[in-house]
A and B are shown apart, each in its own frame.
Chain A
Amino acid sequence: MKFFICDDTPESFFTAVFYAYSESDCFITSDKEIQLSLGSEIVQVHSDTEKCERVRRGLYRYDNGAENDILKALRSCNNRKEQICFMYIKRLLEFKKSVRNAFNLSEVVELNNILYQITEETHRFTGFLRFKENANGTLYAPYSPDNDITGLLMPHFAARLNAPFVIHDVKRKIAGLYNGSTWIITCVGDAEICPSDSERAFESLWKKYYKAVNIKERPHEKQMKSSMPVRYWKFLPEKND
C-alpha cells in the first residue's frame, strides 16, 4: 500500500490526489504519526501548482460546489480527513456528475458527516465566542475549537461588529485579525490584554443575568451540557464564577 504524506495546505492535498488517483491501493494523510503497516511505501508529496490546478478544474467540471466542500472538510480535526475527501473525489469522477446528495454511497455520507461537524461547530461558536473589550476599543476573543474554524467565523463577526477585533485560537496558535474593513489569519503566540474600564462591570452584569434567568423549578443540567459541551466552558465568563 502507498501512503501519500502531504502537509496541511490544500495545494499539497490536491497534488497528492493527482498522484494517488492512478493508484489502486493508497492512502492520503497529513498525519505525521500515522501507523504504517508492513510493506507500505511512503511518498512525500510536494505542492505542485499545475497538478493542483488540474485536479481543481476536474472537480469544477462535474460539481462547482465540490471544491468548496473539500476545502471546508480539510479544516476538520478528523485524522482521516484527506482520505475521506479523496474517496469522495474518486466517486465524483466516477459518476461524472454531482454526488452531493447520493446518500446511499458511504463516501458521501462520510464527507457529509465531517462537513456537518464543522458547520455545527462554527454555528455554535457564533454564539459561544466571548469578546473582552480592551482599553483601546479592540475586542479580543480567545477560544479553543475542535476544528480549524477561525476562517469561517471571521466573516460572520466582520459583518456585525463595528470595532476592530481579534479571534484567537489558542490551541492552534493562530488568530483572525479584523481592522474595521478587512480581515486576515495569522500565527500568534500569547496575547496580552488590558481590559477597558467597563469590561468588569459588564461581565459581572452578565453573570448576574445568567443566574437570574434560570428557572430553578425545572432543572435539566443534562440538556444544558449537551447543547453547550463542558469543553467549551473554559472561555465562558458565566461558567467561571
Chain B
Amino acid sequence: MIDAEKLEILTESAKYDVSCSSSGSKRVNRAGGLGNASVSGICHSFTPDGRCISLLKILMSNDCIYDCEYCPNRRSAEVRRATITPTEICELVIGFYKRNYIEGLFLSSAVFGTPDRTMELLIKTVEMLRHEYRFNGYIHLKGIPHADDLLIMKAARLVDRMSFNVELPSEKSLKLLAPQKTKQSLLLPMKSLQNAMLYDKENKVRRRDAVIPAGQTTQLIVGASPETDGQILKLTEALYRNMGLRRVYYSSYIPVVQSSLLPTVGAGLLREHRLYQADWLIRFYGFDVNEILDESENLSMEYDPKCAWALRNMHLFPIEVNTAPLATLLRVPGIGAKSAYRIIEARKYGKIDFENLAKMRVVLKRARHFITCKGKFYGTENSQQVKNCLLLEGKNEVNEQLSMFSEKSVALSALTGEV
C-alpha cells in the first residue's frame, strides 16, 4: 500500500489545481465492476478552506523537468520529491471509493523523463483501473503538453474528462512565466479533443466508447500576470465558443513561490468571485463579454456584474414580470435561472404578484428596482438611490468562489447559475 508521506507530498503538490468537479458524465457500472458516475457530480467532503473534495486529487510524480515560475514543483524549487506507481494509485482509488470517501480520481503529473513517457504512465494507470480493477467511477485526467496526439486520444477513450491548463491568460505571460509551454502545445490538443468529441457525436458512437463524455476544462491563474478582467473574459468566451469547453476555472494567485517575476501579494478572492459571476452570465444568461465589460476594464468590485450591467442600462427597466420573455427576465438582478423558470411556469396558472415572487426565491432587495408586478412598481425610481441601495447590500455579500459551493444559497446559485 502507498506510503503516507508520499501521499502527503503528492497531494500537496496537486492541491492548487482548482477543478474538482465530478459532474457531466453518466458512465454506468457493468456487472462485477465497481462504481458509476453521477451526472450532477457529488461532493464527498469539505476542507477548512471551503473547497469540496469530490475526487482524489493527486500527482503521479512531482519531479518535474520544467521550470515554470509560478509552480511550486518547478525544477529549481527545493521541495520533497516523490513518485508513485500505477498499482499504488489503483489500490488507493479502490480503497477510498468503496468507503465512499471519493467520487473518482483526478490524476495529474509533473513531467518526468519526456512528455510522452509521462503520458504513457498516466495511461497505464487509467487502463489498469478500468480493465484490471473494473472501475467505472469518474476519472479526470490532466493532459501533458507536448505529448503525442495518439497518446492523448488513447487516454481520452478511457476517462470522463480531460483538461489542459492554459494557466496564464496571454501568450506574453506564458512566454515569461512558463517558457517551456507554448500556446500551441495547449491549444492543439484541446482542438483535437474537441474534433474527436464532435466525430463521436455525429457518428453516434456508443456512450461507453465515446471520448471524454464530461468534456474538457481548463484553468487560468488570476493576478499573477498583468492582464485585465476584460482580456481574461474575452479568452474565456473564445474557449467556450471555439473549443467547446465545459468549464473555465479561475484560480486567484497565491504567492507560495518566491520570484522576481511574480507579484508578492495574492489577487484576493473577490476578484475570483466576480470572474465566476461573469462566467455564469456568459454561459447561462445570454450575455456577451462586450456587454459586461470592455477589454481594457476590470470588473467592478462594488457590484456584481449583472447589477453593474443593469445600472448602466436603466433605460431598459422596469419590466413587467407577468409578460416579459425569459431572456429579459434573466437579465434582471435578483432573478436567477431557476426563479426565471418558475415565473414562466407560474404565469400559466394566473397573475403573479409581489408576494409570490419572494416565495419563488427571487431576491427582491435587488429585483424590486427593476420590475413591476401587475403594473405596480415597488422600487426606487431615482437611479442614484438604486445604486446606493445595491451598494449597501453588496457590502454584506460573502466573497467567495462560486464553484466551491459555499453558503447554501450560493451553493444553490452555483448549481442553477443564478447570480
A contact residues vs B (CB 8 Å cutoff): 95, 99, 101-106, 109, 123, 126-133, 139, 141, 156-157, 159-163, 198, 201-206, 208-224, 226-228, 236, 238
- Cβ contacts under 8 Å, B148 to chain A: none
- Residue from A163, A209, A226 in contact with B7 in the complex, judged by beta carbons closer than 8 Å: A209
- Residue from B45, B54, B343 in contact with A228 in the complex, judged by beta carbons closer than 8 Å: B45
The residue in B50, B103, B398, B411 that gathers the most chain A C-beta atoms within 10 A of its C-beta is B50
B contact residues vs A (CB 8 Å cutoff): 1-2, 4, 7-8, 11-12, 14-16, 28-29, 32-36, 38, 40, 42-54, 56-57, 92, 95-96, 98-101, 103, 136-137, 252, 254, 256, 266, 269, 342-343, 345-346, 348-353, 356, 359-360, 398, 400, 404-408, 411
Q: Are B57 and A206 in contact (CB under 8 A)?
A: no
Give the CA-CA distance A205 to B7 in the complex, in Å: 8
Residue ID in chain A nearest B51 by CB atoms: A215
Q: Are B45 and A238 in contact (CB under 8 A)?
A: yes
- Cβ contacts under 8 Å, A127 to chain B: 42-45, 54, 100, 103
The secondary-structure label for the interface of chain B is loop
CB distance from A120 to the nearest CB of B (A): 9
- Name 8 extra pairs, CB < 8 A, besides A127-B100, A221-B50, A227-B408: A103-B342, A109-B359, A160-B137, A198-B95, A205-B2, A208-B4, A215-B51, A218-B252
The residue in A95, A99, A209, A217 that gathers the most chain B C-beta atoms within 10 A of its C-beta is A209
Q: Are A223 and B356 in contact (CB under 8 A)?
A: no
Residue ID in chain B nearest A103 by CB atoms: B346
- Cβ contacts under 8 Å, B342 to chain A: 101, 103
CB distance from A47 to the nearest CB of B (A): 33
Q: A126-B38, A213-B15 are in contact. Are A104 and B349 (CB under 8 A)?
A: yes
Q: Are B411 and A227 in contact (CB under 8 A)?
A: yes
Q: Are A223 and B15 in contact (CB under 8 A)?
A: no
Give the CA-CA distance A156 to B137 in the complex, in Å: 13
Q: Are B40 and A103 in contact (CB under 8 A)?
A: no
- Cβ contacts under 8 Å, B2 to chain A: 205
Give the CA-CA distance A226 to B404 in the complex, in Å: 12
Q: Are B99 and A132 in contact (CB under 8 A)?
A: yes
Q: Are A102 and B48 in contact (CB under 8 A)?
A: no
- Cβ contacts under 8 Å, B50 to chain A: 218, 220-224, 227
Q: A123-B40, A223-B406 are in contact. Are A206 and B101 (CB under 8 A)?
A: yes
Residue ID in chain B nearest A105 by CB atoms: B349
Q: Are A217 and B98 in contact (CB under 8 A)?
A: no
Can you report 9 A-B residue pairs in the complex whose CB atoms are below 8 A from each other? Answer: A104-B353, A104-B356, A127-B103, A160-B34, A213-B11, A220-B406, A223-B46, A226-B406, A226-B411
Q: A101-B348, A209-B11, A236-B45 are in contact. Are A159 and B36 (CB under 8 A)?
A: yes
- Residue from B47, B356, B398 in contact with A103 in the complex, judged by beta carbons closer than 8 Å: B356
Q: Are B34 and A161 in contact (CB under 8 A)?
A: yes
Residue ID in chain B nearest A116 by CB atoms: B412
Give the CA-CA distance A139 to B137 in the complex, in Å: 18
- Cβ contacts under 8 Å, B48 to chain A: 214, 219-221, 224
Give the CA-CA distance A202 to B38 in the complex, in Å: 24
Q: A216-B49, A223-B407 are in contact. Are A133 and B98 (CB under 8 A)?
A: yes
- Residue from B11, B51, B95, B351 in contact with A202 in the complex, judged by beta carbons closer than 8 Å: B95
CB distance from A195 to the nearest CB of B (A): 11
Q: Are A131 and B98 in contact (CB under 8 A)?
A: yes
Q: Are A130 and B92 in contact (CB under 8 A)?
A: no
Give the CA-CA distance A215 to B12 in the complex, in Å: 9
CB distance from B393 to the nearest CB of A (A): 19
Give the CA-CA distance A121 to B247 in the complex, in Å: 26
Q: A104-B352, A160-B137 are in contact. Are A133 and B99 (CB under 8 A)?
A: yes
- Cβ contacts under 8 Å, A157 to chain B: 100
* Interface pairs A-B: 10 shortest CB-CB: A223-B50, A220-B50, A101-B345, A212-B11, A102-B349, A214-B47, A103-B346, A223-B406, A228-B46, A127-B44
CB distance from B138 to the nearest CB of A (A): 11
Residue ID in chain B nearest A199 by CB atoms: B99
Give the CA-CA distance A101 to B348 in the complex, in Å: 9
Q: Are A220 and B49 in contact (CB under 8 A)?
A: yes
Q: A126-B38, A215-B49 are in contact. Are A162 and B33 (CB under 8 A)?
A: yes
- Cβ contacts under 8 Å, A236 to chain B: 45
Give the CA-CA distance A102 to B348 in the complex, in Å: 8
Give the CA-CA distance A90 to B195 in the complex, in Å: 54
Residue ID in chain A nearest B409 by CB atoms: A226
- Cβ contacts under 8 Å, B56 to chain A: 209
- Cβ contacts under 8 Å, A206 to chain B: 96, 99, 101
- Cβ contacts under 8 Å, B346 to chain A: 101-104
Q: Are B53 and A210 in contact (CB under 8 A)?
A: yes
Residue ID in chain A nearest B343 by CB atoms: A103
Q: Are B47 and A139 in contact (CB under 8 A)?
A: no
- Residue from B1, B256, B407 in contact with A201 in the complex, judged by beta carbons closer than 8 Å: B1
- Cβ contacts under 8 Å, B43 to chain A: 127, 227
Give the CA-CA distance A208 to B29 in the complex, in Å: 29
Residue ID in chain A nearest B3 by CB atoms: A205
Q: Are B99 and A227 in contact (CB under 8 A)?
A: no
Q: Are B46 and A217 in contact (CB under 8 A)?
A: no
- Cβ contacts under 8 Å, B35 to chain A: 160
CB distance from B349 to the nearest CB of A (A): 4
- Cβ contacts under 8 Å, B343 to chain A: 103
